[in-house]
C-alpha cells in the first residue's frame, strides 16, 4: 500500500485542473509520504485530480485502435505508418505495442481510483464532498472497465488498492464485468451532481450515458432503452443547434448542453490534444501559426465522404482542398480528404491544442434509444422521431416510418447515421462490431480479417507478467 501511495504522490504536485484553463497551484511539502498524505480534503481532491489527469479515450493509440481498422480512414506518412499499419491490415498480434498502451493506461486509472475509493472515506471532511469524490472515482474506474472490455473482452477485475502484481489475478467472466459496471455506474450516479461543479467532471448524466453505451454494445436492448430514456426524459441535455452543425466543436461552444462528458485538454505540452497535427496535409496553412504538422497523415476515405447527403452540414468538417503556406490551392484527391472536426486552436502553438475530446454527447443518447427500440420492436415511430432529431440539426431530409419495412432496413440506416454523426470520435469500430459489419467490411476492403478480430489480444507483456491471464481465442 505504501509503495502505491508513493507512486501516486508524484502526480499530485502539478495536476490537470478539470474545468479550468490552467494548472492547479503547486503545493510544496517539506516531507510528503504515506504518513502525512491523504489527511485532508485538499489531499483527497488532489488525488482525484490525478485520476482525471490520465487521458486514454482520445489519446493517439486508443483513438487509432477505434478508427483505423474501420471503413472511414487510413494512415499514410511518417514513422507512424509502420507502427500503425497492423491496425489497418488486421495483422496485429499480442506483441503489438498499442495494445499494451491502452491496457496499462486504463489500469493506471483503475489503480488510482481504487486508492481514492479505499482511502478517502477515512478522511475527516465534509460528508457530501466525500461522497461526491468517491462517486467520481467509482465512475472513472467503471468507465475504464468499459474501455478495457470494448478492446479486450473480460479482464481482471481489480477493485482494491491492496491488490499487488504478485496476486496475479485471472480474468473475470463477461457476466462479472457486466454486473460490476452496471452496479458501479448506477451507484455513482446517485451521488454525482446533475451539473458538474467544474467543466469536465463526472455527472449523473455521464454515469448513465456510459452505462447506456455499455448496454448497447452488449446488445442489452431493454436496458439500453431504459437508461437512455432516463437521460432524455430528465430534460438536462439538448442538441446543439447554433448554426452549422460543425460549429458544435468550435472553441466558443465547448461548454454546451449537448456535451455530457468530455476529456479536457490544455494548449500546453504534456496536456494538449495533438490530433490535428496528425491530420492536416503537408504545408497546410494554419490560421494562427506556428503549429506543428506531423509527417503522419490521417486520411478520410472517399467512399465515406461520398456517402453524405449533399445538404449534410456535418461533411463541412471534412476538407478536400487546402491552401498551403505558399498560398497555392491544393486538391487532396482520392482517399485523401481530412477531418477537421476538431478545429485549430487559435491560441495554441506547436502540437498541443486545447480541444476537448467529447466522450459522450446527447446525440449519442438519442441514437442509443432509437437503435434499441428498433431491435426490440422493429421499425416504430419513436425510433424514427429520435433519429430525425439528429438529422434535423444536420440539415438533411427526415425519415418517415414508411421508409423502413424491416428491422434490418432501419438498422442499416442507423449504422450509416452514426458514421455521419460520430466520425473522428472513436466510436466507429464498436458500432461496426455491434452491427455485425466490422469483419464483413474489412474483407470487402481486401483485409485478412477473421471473426476473432472483434477483440484485440491480451498484450503479451501482460501475460508474461501474469501467467494467469488467458489469451483471447485466435491469437
> CA-CA distances (angstroms) from residue 448 to 71, 259, 475?
14, 37, 14
Q: Do 149 and 273 belong to one domain?
A: no
Let me know: does 157 contact 172? Beta carbons within 8 Å: yes
Mean pLDDT of 76-105: 97
pLDDT tens digits along 237-281: 999 988 899 999 998 898 899 999 999 998 988 889 999 999 999
Residue 3 scores a pLDDT above 60:
no
Residue 241 pLDDT: 86
Give the domain CATH number at 159: 1.25.40.890
Residue 312 scores a pLDDT above 80:
yes
Residue 20 scores a pLDDT above 50:
no
Alpha-carbon Rg of the chain, whole angstroms? Answer: 22
Q: Do 272 and 180 belong to one domain?
A: no
Q: Do 14 and 143 belong to one domain?
A: yes
The torsion angles phi and psi of 372, rounded to 5 degrees, stand at: -60, -45
H/E stretch holding 305? helix 302-306
- Highest mean pLDDT pick, 8-22, 30-44, 310-324: 310-324
Residue 307 pLDDT: 98
Q: Do 152 and 271 belong to one domain?
A: no
Whole-model pTM: value is: 0.92
Residue 33 pLDDT: 57
Q: Do 35 and 133 belong to one domain?
A: yes
H/E stretch holding 299? strand 297-300
Residue 245 domain flag = no
Let me know: does 52 contact 16? Beta carbons within 8 Å: yes
For residues 336 and 327, give the distance between their C-alpha atoms in angstroms, rounded to a whole number: 20
Domain boundary among 334, 355, 376: 355
Residue 8 pLDDT: 44
- Grid cell, residue 289, equals 501559426
| Residue 146 CB-density burial (10 A; 0-12 exposed, 13-18 middle, 19+ buried) | buried
Q: Do 12 and 155 belong to one domain?
A: yes
Share above pLDDT 90 across residues of the chain, in percent, rounded to a whole number:
85
Q: Do 135 and 20 belong to one domain?
A: yes
Residue 346 domain flag = yes
pLDDT tens digits along 425-438: 999 999 999 999 99
Q: Do 161 and 27 belong to one domain?
A: yes
Residue 34 pLDDT: 57
Residue 366 pLDDT: 99
Grid look-up 479482464 returns 155
- Grid cell, residue 55, equals 487521458
For residues 115 and 158, give the distance between their C-alpha atoms in angstroms, rounded to a whole number: 12
Alpha carbon 104 to chain centroid, angstroms: 16
Q: Do 269 and 188 belong to one domain?
A: no
pLDDT tens digits along 341-389: 999 999 999 999 999 999 999 999 999 999 999 999 999 999 999 999 9
Residue 57 pLDDT: 81
pLDDT-wise least confident of 20-34, 212-226, 450-464: 20-34
Q: Do 151 and 278 belong to one domain?
A: no
Q: Do 55 and 171 belong to one domain?
A: yes
Q: Which residues contact 408 (CB under 8 A, 6 or more apart)?
A: none
pLDDT tens digits along 45-66: 999 999 999 987 879 999 999 9
Q: Do 288 and 188 belong to one domain?
A: no
Residue 198 pLDDT: 87
Residue 93 domain flag = yes
Q: Are strands 73-76 and 259-263 parallel, antiparallel or unpaired?
A: unpaired
Mean pLDDT of 306-328: 98
Q: How confident is the model at residue 165 (pLDDT cuts 50, 70, 90)?
A: low
Torsion of CA 96, 58, 466, 164, to 10 degrees: 160
50: nearest Cα among 17, 91, 2, 92: 17
Residue 108 pLDDT: 96
Residue 201 domain flag = no
Domain boundary among 296, 320, 355: 355
For residues 332 and 280, give the distance between their C-alpha atoms in angstroms, rounded to a whole number: 11
Residue 212 domain flag = no
Share above pLDDT 70 across residues of the chain, in percent, rounded to a whole number:
92
Higher pLDDT, 420 or 272: 420
Mean pLDDT of 414-433: 98
Residue 236 domain flag = no
Domain boundary among 302, 337, 355: 355
Q: Are strands 321-323 and 297-300 parallel, antiparallel or unpaired?
A: unpaired
Q: Which domain holds residue 302?
A: 265-355
Residue 21 pLDDT: 37
Residue 242 domain flag = no
Let me know: does 78 contact 46? Beta carbons within 8 Å: no
Residue 174 domain flag = yes
Overall number of domains in the chain: 2
Let me know: does 239 contact 327? Beta carbons within 8 Å: no
Return the axis-axis angle of helices 174-191 and 127-152, rounded to nearest 10°.
150
Residue 36 pLDDT: 64
| Average pLDDT value for the chain | 92
Amino acid at each position: 500500500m505504501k509503495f502505491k501511495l508513493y507512486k501516486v504522490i508524484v502526480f499530485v504536485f502539478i495536476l490537470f485542473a478539470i474545468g479550468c484553463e490552467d494548472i492547479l497551484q503547486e503545493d510544496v511539502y517539506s516531507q510528503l509520504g504515506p504518513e502525512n498524505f491523504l489527511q485532508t480534503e485538499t489531499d483527497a481532491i488532489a488525488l482525484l485530480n490525478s485520476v482525471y489527469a490520465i487521458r486514454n479515450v482520445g489519446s493517439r493509440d486508443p483513438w487509432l485502435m477505434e478508427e483505423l481498422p474501420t471503413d472511414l480512414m487510413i494512415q499514410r506518412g511518417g514513422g507512424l505508418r509502420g507502427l500503425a499499419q497492423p491496425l489497418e491490415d488486421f495483422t496485429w498480434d499480442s506483441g503489438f505495442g498499442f495494445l499494451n498502451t491502452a491496457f496499462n493506461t486504463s489500469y493506471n486509472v483503475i489503480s488510482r481510483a481504487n486508492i481514492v475509493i479505499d482511502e478517502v472515506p477515512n478522511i475527516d471532511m465534509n460528508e457530501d464532498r466525500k461522497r461526491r469524490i468517491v462517486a467520481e472515482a467509482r465512475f472513472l474506474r467503471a468507465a475504464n472497465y468499459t474501455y478495457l472490455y470494448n478492446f479486450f473482452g473480460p479482464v481482471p477485475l481489480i477493485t482494491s488498492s491492496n491488490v499487488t502484481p504478485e496476486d496475479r489475478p485471472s480474468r473475470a467472466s463477461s457476466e462479472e464485468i457486466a454486473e460490476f459496471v452496471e452496479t458501479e455506474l448506477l451507484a455513482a450516479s446517485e451521488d454525482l451532481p446533475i451539473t458538474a461543479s467544474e467543466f469536465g467532471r463526472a455527472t449523473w448524466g455521464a454515469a448513465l450515458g456510459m452505462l447506456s453505451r455499455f448496454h448497447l454494445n452488449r446488445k442489452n436492448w431493454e436496458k439500453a432503452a431504459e437508461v437512455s430514456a432516463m437521460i432524455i426524459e430528465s430534460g438536462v441535455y439538448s442538441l446543439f443547434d447554433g448554426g452549422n452543425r460543425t460549429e458544435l466543436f468550435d472553441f466558443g461552444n465547448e461548454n454546451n448542453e449537448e456535451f455530457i462528458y468530455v476529456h479536457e485538454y490544455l494548449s500546453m505540452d504534456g496536456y494538449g490534444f495533438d490530433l490535428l497535427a496528425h491530420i492536416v496535409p503537408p504545408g497546410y496553412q494554419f490560421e494562427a501559426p506556428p503549429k506543428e504538422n506531423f509527417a503522419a497523415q490521417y486520411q478520410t476515405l472517399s467512399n465515406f465522404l461520398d456517402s453524405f447527403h449533399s445538404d449534410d452540414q456535418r461533411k463541412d468538417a471534412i476538407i478536400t482542398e487546402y491552401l498551403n503556406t505558399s498560398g497555392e490551392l491544393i486538391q487532396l484527391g482520392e482517399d485523401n480528404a481530412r477531418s477537421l472536426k476538431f478545429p485549430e486552436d487559435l491560441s495554441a502553438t506547436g502540437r498541443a491544442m486545447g480541444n476537448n475530446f467529447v466522450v459522450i454527447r446527447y446525440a449519442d443518447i438519442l441514437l442509443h434509444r432509437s437503435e434499441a427500440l428498433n431491435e426490440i420492436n422493429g421499425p416504430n415511430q419513436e425510433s424514427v422521431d429520435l433519429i430525425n432529431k439528429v438529422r434535423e440539426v444536420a440539415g438533411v431530409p427526415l425519415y418517415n416510418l414508411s421508409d423502413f419495412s424491416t428491422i434490418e432496413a432501419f438498422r442499416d440506416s442507423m449504422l450509416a447515421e452514426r458514421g455521419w454523426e460520430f466520425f473522428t470520435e472513436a466510436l466507429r469500430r464498436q458500432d461496426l462490431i455491434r452491427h455485425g459489419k466490422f469483419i464483413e467490411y474489412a474483407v470487402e476492403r481486401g483485409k485478412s480479417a477473421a471473426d476473432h478480430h472483434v477483440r484485440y489480444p491480451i498484450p503479451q507483456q501482460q501475460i508474461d507478467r501474469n501467467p494467469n491471464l488467458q489469451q483471447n481465442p485466435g491469437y
